[in-house]
């Protein structure tokens, strides 16, 4: 379905760009955690490919794209190598990386939803797997790094924009109006929501009327 909206070369380039940015974010966390070179590579791979791998296993798309396409596997390793040698310079452009990360989030939630639907899942399940594609790698990264997954404490609204984007795609499919315009609108909406959340520090709401004396963990 999505391959009918964008030329294969463009789609492949967008996938690689998203994978590279997610891998860079994972590798930077590994550096901050003082992981060795192997740990940096593992966190880069897991962050970049974890969500798509989970999606493909659930829908039965085997072997998963991460193993069927060599460039998908090599790109995170290139990102890990760059961070390993150039992490001070990469850290200085962290804001730009966050912008590209938002773009990757937007792209992956849309591609994940459409691919799940292509494999016969219902609209709700497809949207859920779109979310999993976008944020699943980050959850695995945080678990391996011994952090509380950002999905569970959605500071600066990381998961919410992906939910919006996946839902927009599902609605477009339901009304048989999924095309380049509606797909682009879902991607742009997700991207802009994520940027606004970073700019204004929006976050998902805490428990209603929470009065606990226990301070929130940093």
Tell me what pLDDT residue 1 has. 56
Tell me what pLDDT residue 25 has. 87
d(CA 8, CA 217): 44
Coil vs helix vs strand at 203: strand
Tell me what pLDDT residue 116 has. 93
Q: Which residues contact 121 (CB under 8 A, 6 or more apart)?
A: 59, 129
| CA 180 to mean position of chain CA atoms | 21
Q: What pairs with residue 201 in β-bridges? A: none
Question: Which residue's entry shows tokens 């962290």?
Answer: 94
Tell me what pLDDT residue 211 has. 63
Question: Which residue's entry shows tokens 């897991």?
Answer: 46
pLDDT in tens, the chain (218 residues): 555 556 667 778 878 888 998 999 899 889 889 999 999 999 999 999 999 999 999 999 999 988 888 999 999 999 999 999 988 887 777 777 788 888 889 989 999 999 999 999 999 999 999 999 999 999 999 999 998 887 887 777 889 999 999 999 999 999 999 988 999 999 999 999 999 998 998 888 877 877 655 555 55
CA-based nearest residue to 50, from 134, 121, 114, 146? 134
Q: What is the DSSP-derived secondary structure letter of residue 217?
A: P
Domain segments of the chain as ranges = 2-200
Instruction: List Cα–Cα distances, 102 to 68, 121, 133, 154, in angstroms.
Output: 26, 26, 14, 14
Q: Which residues contact 81 (CB under 8 A, 6 or more apart)?
A: none
Tell me what pLDDT residue 132 has. 96
């Amino acid at each position: 379905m999505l391959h009918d909206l964008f030329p294969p070369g463009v789609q492949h380039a967008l996938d690689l760009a998203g994978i590279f940015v997610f891998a860079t974010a994972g590798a930077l966390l590994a550096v901050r955690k003082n992981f060795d070179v192997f740990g940096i590579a593992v966190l880069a791979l897991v962050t970049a490919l974890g969500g798509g791998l989970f999606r493909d296993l659930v829908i039965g798309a085997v072997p998963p794209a991460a193993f069927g396409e060599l460039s998908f596997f090599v790109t995170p390793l290139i990102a890990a190598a760059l961070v390993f040698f150039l992490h001070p310079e990469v850290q200085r452009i962290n804001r730009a990386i966050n912008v590209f990360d938002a773009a990757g989030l937007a792209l992956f939630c849309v591609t994940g939803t459409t691919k799940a639907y292509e494999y016969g899942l219902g609209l709700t399940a497809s949207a859920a797997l779109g979310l999993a594609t976008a944020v699943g790698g980050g959850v695995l990264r945080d678990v391996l790094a011994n952090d509380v997954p950002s999905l569970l404490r959605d500071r600066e609204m990381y998961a919410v924009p992906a939910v919006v984007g996946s839902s927009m795609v599902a609605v477009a499919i339901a009304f048989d109006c999924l095309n380049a315009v509606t797909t682009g609108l879902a991607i742009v909406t997700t991207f802009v929501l994520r940027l606004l959340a970073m700019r204004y520090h929006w976050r998902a709401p805490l428990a209603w009327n929470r009065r606990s004396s226990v301070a929130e963990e940093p």
